[in-house]
Amino acid sequence: MSRSLIPALLPALLIAAPAIAAPGFQDTASLDRAVAAFTGRGIGDEGGARSMVDTRLKLAQCPTVSLSWRSDAHDAVVVTCTGPDWRLFVPVRFTPSEPRKAPQTIAAVVPAIKAEPVIKRGDPVTIEAGSPGFSITREGVAAADAAPGARFLVKIDGGRAPVQAVALSSGRATLPGWSE
């Protein structure tokens, strides 16, 4: 190589050197293709990814990625790599007018049984909390009706904000997280 070509090629070599020396990162375009194949829809299409995976992400290269739905609602695709451990959530585009299968909860399966309130709004209430060797009680006034086990607010004398309590029986309540 002639000495006159070295100064001309030196800037190009310096620019390319970091790319050559840098460790390989996961190609985000390949992740986009995998998500499109998984959903069967293109980026931006109904049922497809909302947008491309951010190209600024520097994920370690993964020989094999696995894809799954985040939930039964099919609102996002989870792209997971177990070799170098990373996980990515890709939101899926849909219109609210589409009928979507909502995750089923126990409340949807079991009909609600409405219990009669044991505490009525305006009733005097004693809030009790404690454990063996420790107990505390406060007096207040119920700000709402409550059935056994239901949460409600109690206005405490001298307190700025109401306190949340769990109804136990008529005139008795405890703090959330404390048992009887």
Mean pLDDT across the chain:
78
Report pLDDT digits (tens) over 71-126.
Answer: 888 888 999 888 788 888 899 987 665 555 555 554 454 555 567 889 999 999 99
CA distances from 66 to 54, 78, 87, 142 (A): 18, 8, 10, 53
Per-residue confidence (pLDDT) for residue 126, from 0 to 100: 92
Percent of the chain scored above 90 by pLDDT?
16
Per-residue confidence (pLDDT) for residue 175, from 0 to 100: 86
pTM of the model: 0.43
Q: How far apart are CA 73 and CA 60, in angstroms?
A: 29
pLDDT band at residue 20, thresholds of 50, 70 and 90? Answer: very low
Is residue 144 over pLDDT 70? Answer: yes
Cite the DSSP H helix spans in the chain. Answer: 5-21, 28-39, 106-109
